[in-house]
Structure 1
Amino acid sequence: MSMHTQFRLTVLAAAVAACLPVSVFAQQPAPTKKAEAPANKVEINAAATSTYDPRRDDTASKIVVSHDEIIKYGDTNVLDVLKRVPGVTVSGGGGRMGGEVRMRGLGSGYTQILINGERAPAGFSMDSLSPDVIERIEVLRAASAEFSTQSIAGTINIVLRRAISTRQRELKAGYSGGQGLRSPNANLQISDRMGTMSYSVALNAVNNRFDRHSPTVEEFTDNSTGVTSVRESDPSMEGGFKGLNAAPRINWNLANGDTLTSQSFINLNRLQMNSDQQVTTVSGLAPAFPNTSMHTTNEGAFVRSDLNWVHKLGGSAKLDTKIGFNYNTSDNEQRRRGGRTAGVDLLDSRIDTDSTEKGLSTTGKYTTPIMEGHSLAMGWDGGYTTRDEDRVQQDQPAAPQYDVYAAKVARFAAFAQDEWSLTKQLSVYLGARWEGIRTTSTGSGFADSTSRLSVWSPVAQVLYKLPNSKADQVRLALTRTFKAPGAGQLIPRRTPSINNSELEPDTMGNPDLKPEQATGIDASYEHYWPQGGVFSVAASARRITDFTRQAIVLADDGRWVSMPVNDGTANTRSLEIEAKFPVKIFFPEGPALDVRANVSRNWSSVDAVPGPNNRLDQQTPLSATLGLDYKLGALTMGGSYVFRNGGPVRISATQAAYQTVRRDVDVYGLWKFDPKNQLRVTIGNVLAQDWVSESFYEDARTASHRRIVYPGTMLVRVMMEMKF
């Protein structure tokens, strides 16, 4: 066991131990718990909060996915959960690890991902986040001033499990398996209340093993000579991923009505992977290294801890402040070998990269009613993060090359928002947020650079409940949002590829990159049925300036290089329809069947890219979900069908791609033996559909095409759930 691993296990043990013993100090009886007022919600009286429905009552448009819905299918990572959420798509599929979360079909930073209201650090993998440590998922279609407005497509806020008022001990043990995939996993949830203190600890462990192939065909044509090179390969990849999550939380109710909460999240992970590829040249020129192999080991640790104090002031006002820190480390070792014949290495390179990210953050919000039905809030959101990276590359037989890199990111935001219930039917939300970010990068191999940006984001939202109807309402929102370039996009350091080509270029950042800014409008109609039923239609449009795309150029040294550049404007539009209801509201004598359905249609265009199919960020044009849940005594079963359209997409004047059409079917069954024991069985990706990736490049000199097939895998998951 390495020293890094020992340190990470010590941190985890200390954090868990810190949560459990504190219960012995609680001596006072617990006061009656009051419902928490949600963000962007006017507090009228206790009766109002007791029947509060965030989706229906908040002026800001929001979809909330509860913990019961999150764990329904027994998923082992949050990406599988998100693919069934209305208006959300996840790239990838076919039993593959990884994927990009998208709203309105847009990823690449257009969709903001938050954990407990704060952005996840660079390099954090959503794959490693277990659904069992999540309390709820909030999907915000339009921006609000309270959260960062780096949310052109929208925001997904993942709220971790909270301390509860009753004793709970729950253990889940399961196993997932499919062709080339195996994954045992376990979850433990401990919660209790002792006097004025309540606590919870959620632990999750997973061990994924994978072994898969991805048949690949490449074609390169020299337009001047007409010579075409055709290459075939079947890269193999095998390895394992181990992950451990811990989410301890302690809540104290103080004597004066204040609350003090300690919330932490700890994630430890280790990835080990071996990949081999032998390229067969069917015709034309062979690559520089037809035979390549790579061994990768990555150990990562992420720790975030927050202390939140809510102080009651006079006149129903309150001050909500939070201070936190995060620590993120990654140790990566990569051994790359390449040659023209198997076993004879002409390329032997080892790259060791150690990175550490440390940060402090603070947020605060002061809220006060200024008249009946009128709530004013003001606050701040600031943070300071440092990232250090050491990279050693040893290319045999040359001497080692040492590179160092450091970045400092300072950010501060101030906001004010006012929610006003003008009448029983009409409420208005007005907000403004100023956000400034300063990024400084230093390192070997490139000049020091500093990037500054500041953005004003006004937000206006209106909720109107139609007269003479308790079930119908409409919404309208006008927003100004942006997308800031990440630190990695600003660093002008080149990372070389093995077989350099226009399809496998070197990569580097661009220190002159500017933020993208968007002006948007959202409108929706909602109808609510009893027993949680809802029907909604939502439309939106965005106009984006300083659009960023990846440009591929031929550098002076003859190598192909990919780098981000600003390139004009882009437009995107979307239409979402959702329906969710139990059949019994229409047929009282009908079966205990719940229906969930949604469809999203997205359009976009990039002014600087010739059409057709010049979609923004390879936007998913159409997605749809149909889900059914049926309960019969002790048995609950159901399934979902997720469709994601694809097709050709034009990325630039020289680049194009083809997006896979995905059809994913998941089914589950839950058998309750008694109130404390139940068995959950899930079959995921029933159709075992392959996932296909195609990319194209063509200019006056050359034309290239690559097609990769990732074979689909059906997964069977079995989980025993016990309460004690």
Structure 2
Amino acid sequence: MRDLHVFRFAFMLRPPLIAFCFATLPTYAQTSSTPPANTTGAQPMQQVEVKAGAYDARRDDTASKIVVTSEEIKRYGDTSVLDVFKRLPGITVSGAAGRGGGEVRMRGLGSGYTQILINGERAPNGFSIDQLSPDVIERIEVLRAASAEFSTQSIAGTINIVLKKTVRNAQREFKLGFGKSRDASNPNASLQLSDRVDGMSYSIGANATVFDFDRGSPVEESLVAPDGRVAMLRRTDARDRGTPYSLSLAPRLNWTLEQGDTITWQSLVNANRNSYDGYAVTGTLLGQAPQYDVRDTSSRGSNALLRSDLNWVHDMAGGAKLDVKLGVNGMRNRGTWREHDDSLGARGRDAVVLSRTSERGLSSTGKYSTPWRKDHALSMGWDGGTLLRKDARIEDEAFPRSGRTVHSDERYEARVQRLALFAQDEWNVTSRWSMYAGLRWEGLETRSEGNTFEATTNRSTVWSPLAQTLYKLPDSRDQLRLALTRTYKAPSANSLVPRRFTTPNNSQTDPDFRGNPDLKPELATGIDASYEHYWAEKALLSASVSVRRIGDYTRQGLVFENGRWIQTPVNDGRADTRSLELEAKFPLSAVAHDVPDLDLRASVSRNWSRVEAVPGPDNRLDQQTPFSGTLGLDYRAPGGKLSAGASFAFRSGGPVRINVEQWACQSARRDLDLYALWKVDPRYQVRFALSNLLGQDFLSDARYVDASGVLRRSSAFPGSAMARLTLEARY
């Protein structure tokens, strides 16, 4: 299953050849009969009939899918898509509010268990999701269960971010906003242009944002002996200042050819620059002092990312269609890190690190779809690509006390090649019962080589059979869903490379990190079931449960080697996870008459998991969030001039046992956001929002427990509310 001895990527990664094979498939197909068109003419009830039969992706698709519209995405005037995700049902965002860098999680699971796609393809390496502006997004699709068309590296689920592409008419939209909190300011601007010219349409989105911050994050370290005596206590006063700013462009061109084919070119360009300074002073109240008690750091860096796709859609005979996409992507990262470490008022260490990272990649996807038999929709296709990553890290260290200097020059290359083939069929068994069956094969090869370690090659293949069904109960608006999935999680390139990243004050709670070239994919078998009740227009109650059994679970191991503590990922046994999600959304008019125009929504998620190789209690998967919930409302005043709303999101914390000796703990997170939108006239509107209104601090805790006692490191990230005012103009 995992080792593919005869696997040869040089042969398999030939997208033009594969595209030709699919293009030469027979174009004949047995089409299903369709009802005659409505010829009754314009009648008073015709509009009502069309509205009742409108397609609803969440309700009508066999695959379970939640679609978040552009209006919902822009509602709070967010400048980062992370703030949008925290309000969605069943989704949590890790980390402290307003500090960026959080990880989007479904079922409370992080570390790659949740798959993030952009336009149906995996997000580029090196791309941080918080760099994506909500203004360039057309919709967000949340898929709880895997499908063959998308990658099955989605043990927790898939989030597909679809960039804007629909151009109905000429549009000019400009936004200028400013956000301010106690410790940060965030000016931003965006421009959206779109129009049609004969058979061509175009759109372009441009966004610029600056985030200027100056904030503290105190740290406390302690050692408690087995008899309860405090043997060591240190407190660090740390302060961070920075001014990251970014610019993104998302142009799109669409041509409709005379024969009906369409060609689309879409790109995403993102450029970031960062200036950061940090200062930390450690005071030892009891016990042994650290090796360095003053740390002064600064960094300057830049990051640029390009992704460009060319998409051709060709209509064939009998309702068949061929959809082929070719893409290129690249990333360039440059950084300079300087660090001065002092001990007892004297310079103990000077370090300068120059880092250079670049990536270049090619990709090809394609899908051939056709009606097959009666009430069947068959499709098959491929998804392949190759990526070359080059990384260089030059570090110079000077130790003035001893006169010793250390120079290291580490360079490595990692080449990732992948290919996936899939086939799927969706059909209507009856008018109320639909089925979906799919099969996907994915192969992955990662080869890493560098000047400080031997070349390593890691190969894996996974077969993923998938099945989903939807049954609409007779004489009711209720429906049932069931899905059986086989998914996996492949090791990241960084976790496979056996190079070491060191920490100045090395300890069990602040160890070095080293990759493991022997890592294997984690394989998961899953079951999802849900019940949905629709009792009025836009009114939904749903309950869903899921179970996953994961083999070759990857946990973080900790070893002591040559006087240093090193953390490294290892495969270790099995893990199980279960989830329960409840959701309700409805307009107030669905339960009462003559009431304000008010929409209500609420969700609750409860997650459980158990790692077999780690003793309990609290041996949960990857710091899984046990409980989360959302509550929101949206109000529209008569006349449509004013709309307002509020959203509350809660995420529980608690301890997690990582291995026998290591524990981690995070505090609960509570986010309260408010917004108001005033439409001055058809061209201008003003949006005001308050985020993180509770200003809650975020606490993180790491512990190492052995016979000598409990070593603990606690960090605090103070929170503050941010007010944001945005002027929006359309012309």
CA distance in 2, matches of 1:131, 1:514: 35
Which residue of the partner structure matches residue 458 of structure 2?
A: 451
> What are the ranges of 5 or more consecutive residues in structure 2 without an aligned counterpart?
1-31, 39-49, 399-403
CA distance in 2, matches of 1:440, 1:390: 16
Asked if the contact 1:271–1:297 (Cα under 8 Å) also holds between the matched residues in 2, the reply is yes
CA distance in 2, matches of 1:346, 1:43: 81
CA distance in 2, matches of 1:180, 1:226: 38
Letter in 2 for 1:650: R
| Stretch of structure 1 that moved more, 557-566 or 115-124 | 115-124
Aligned to 2:631, the other structure's residue is in SS state strand
Which residue of the partner structure matches residue 117 of structure 1?
A: 120
Asked if the contact 1:442–1:448 (Cα under 8 Å) also holds between the matched residues in 2, the reply is yes
Structure 1 residue 629 and structure 2 residue 634: aligned? yes
Which residue of the partner structure matches residue 388 of structure 1?
A: 390
Deviation at 1:254, TM superposition (A): 1.1
Deviation at 1:327, TM superposition (A): 0.6
Structure 1 residue corresponding to 2:604, chosen from 565, 583, 599 = 599
CA distance in 2, matches of 1:167, 1:241: 33
Structure 1 residue 645 and structure 2 residue 647: aligned? no
Structure 1 residue 547 and structure 2 residue 553: aligned? yes
Which residue of the partner structure matches residue 11 of structure 2?
A: none
Which residue of the partner structure matches residue 88 of structure 2?
A: 85
CA distance in 2, matches of 1:125, 1:298: 15
What whole-Å deviation, never above 9, does each CA across 1:579-634 have from its counterpart, x for those lacking one?
11111122231111100111101011111111111111110000010001111131
Letter in 1 for 2:611: V
Which residue of the partner structure matches residue 436 of structure 2?
A: 429
Aligned to 2:347, the other structure's residue is in SS state coil
Aligned to 1:308, the other structure's residue is in SS state strand
Deviation at 1:268, TM superposition (A): 0.4
Asked if the contact 1:163–1:191 (Cα under 8 Å) also holds between the matched residues in 2, the reply is no
Structure 1 residue corresponding to 2:591, chosen from 554, 577, 586 = 586
CA distance in 2, matches of 1:697, 1:304: 43
Q: Equivalent residues in 2 for 1:58-457 (5 A)?
A: 58-221=61-224, 228-342=231-345, 344-396=346-398, 398=405, 400-457=407-464
Letter in 2 for 1:111: T
Which residue of the partner structure matches residue 525 of structure 1?
A: 531
Asked if the contact 2:202–2:252 (Cα under 8 Å) also holds between the matched residues in 1, the reply is yes
Asked if the contact 2:65–2:141 (Cα under 8 Å) also holds between the matched residues in 1, the reply is yes
CA distance in 2, matches of 1:692, 1:564: 25
Which residue of the partner structure matches residue 724 of structure 2?
A: 717
CA distance in 1, matches of 2:166, 2:89: 28
Q: Equivalent residues in 2 for 1:14-53 (5 A)?
A: 51-53=54-56
Aligned to 2:680, the other structure's residue is in SS state strand
Asked if the contact 1:687–1:714 (Cα under 8 Å) also holds between the matched residues in 2, the reply is yes
Which residue of the partner structure matches residue 521 of structure 2?
A: 515
Aligned to 1:346, the other structure's residue is in SS state strand
Asked if the contact 1:44–1:373 (Cα under 8 Å) also holds between the matched residues in 2, the reply is no
> Stretches of 4+ moved more than 3 A in 1?
42-50, 221-227
Asked if the contact 1:183–1:209 (Cα under 8 Å) also holds between the matched residues in 2, the reply is yes
Asked if the contact 1:163–1:198 (Cα under 8 Å) also holds between the matched residues in 2, the reply is no
Which residue of the partner structure matches residue 562 of structure 1?
A: 567
Change (3 A) 1:44 1:521: farther
What whole-Å deviation, never above 9, does each CA across 1:112-153 have from its counterpart, x for those lacking one?
011111111222111211100111110000000000000000
Asked if the contact 2:356–2:393 (Cα under 8 Å) also holds between the matched residues in 1, the reply is yes
Asked if the contact 1:175–1:717 (Cα under 8 Å) also holds between the matched residues in 2, the reply is yes
Which residue of the partner structure matches residue 475 of structure 1?
A: 481
Which residue of the partner structure matches residue 693 of structure 2?
A: 686
Asked if the contact 1:360–1:384 (Cα under 8 Å) also holds between the matched residues in 2, the reply is yes
> What are the ranges of 5 or more consecutive residues in structure 1 without an aligned counterpart?
1-41
CA distance in 2, matches of 1:225, 1:349: 38
Deviation at 1:224, TM superposition (A): 11
| Stretch of structure 1 that moved more, 216-225 or 528-537 | 216-225
Aligned to 1:721, the other structure's residue is in SS state strand
Asked if the contact 1:224–1:701 (Cα under 8 Å) also holds between the matched residues in 2, the reply is no
CA distance in 2, matches of 1:290, 1:398: 21
Aligned to 1:127, the other structure's residue is in SS state helix
Deviation at 1:43, TM superposition (A): 11
Letter in 2 for 1:536: S
Deviation at 1:216, TM superposition (A): 1.1
CA distance in 2, matches of 1:227, 1:526: 55
Which residue of the partner structure matches residue 4 of structure 2?
A: none
Asked if the contact 2:678–2:685 (Cα under 8 Å) also holds between the matched residues in 1, the reply is yes
CA distance in 1, matches of 2:406, 2:126: 29
Structure 2 residue corresponding to 1:574, chosen from 579, 584, 594 = 579
Deviation at 1:561, TM superposition (A): 0.2
Letter in 1 for 2:470: L
Deviation at 1:370, TM superposition (A): 1.1
CA distance in 2, matches of 1:225, 1:720: 58
Deviation at 1:221, TM superposition (A): 4.8
Asked if the contact 2:33–2:374 (Cα under 8 Å) also holds between the matched residues in 1, the reply is no
Aligned to 2:87, the other structure's residue is in SS state coil
CA distance in 1, matches of 2:687, 2:123: 31
| Stretch of structure 1 that moved more, 393-402 or 379-388 | 393-402
Aligned to 1:235, the other structure's residue is in SS state strand
TM-score, length basis structure 2: 0.91
Letter in 2 for 1:521: I
Asked if the contact 1:523–1:540 (Cα under 8 Å) also holds between the matched residues in 2, the reply is yes
What whole-Å deviation, never above 9, does each CA across 1:249-297 have from its counterpart, x for those lacking one?
1111111111111110011011111111110000100010111111112
Change (3 A) 1:164 1:522: same
TM-score, length basis structure 1: 0.92
> What number of residue pairs does the alignment pair up?
680
Deviation at 1:659, TM superposition (A): 2.0
Asked if the contact 2:685–2:728 (Cα under 8 Å) also holds between the matched residues in 1, the reply is yes
Asked if the contact 1:163–1:199 (Cα under 8 Å) also holds between the matched residues in 2, the reply is no
Change (3 A) 1:637 1:225: closer
Deviation at 1:652, TM superposition (A): 1.3
Asked if the contact 1:163–1:251 (Cα under 8 Å) also holds between the matched residues in 2, the reply is no
Letter in 1 for 2:364: T
Letter in 1 for 2:649: V
Deviation at 1:459, TM superposition (A): 0.2
CA distance in 2, matches of 1:702, 1:336: 32
Aligned to 2:728, the other structure's residue is in SS state strand
What is the percent sequence identity of the aligned residues? 53
Change (3 A) 1:375 1:123: same
Deviation at 1:371, TM superposition (A): 1.6
Asked if the contact 1:163–1:250 (Cα under 8 Å) also holds between the matched residues in 2, the reply is no
Change (3 A) 1:90 1:363: same
Letter in 1 for 2:662: Q
Deviation at 1:444, TM superposition (A): 1.6
Aligned to 2:595, the other structure's residue is in SS state coil
CA distance in 2, matches of 1:368, 1:84: 38
Aligned to 2:501, the other structure's residue is in SS state coil
Deviation at 1:391, TM superposition (A): 1.2
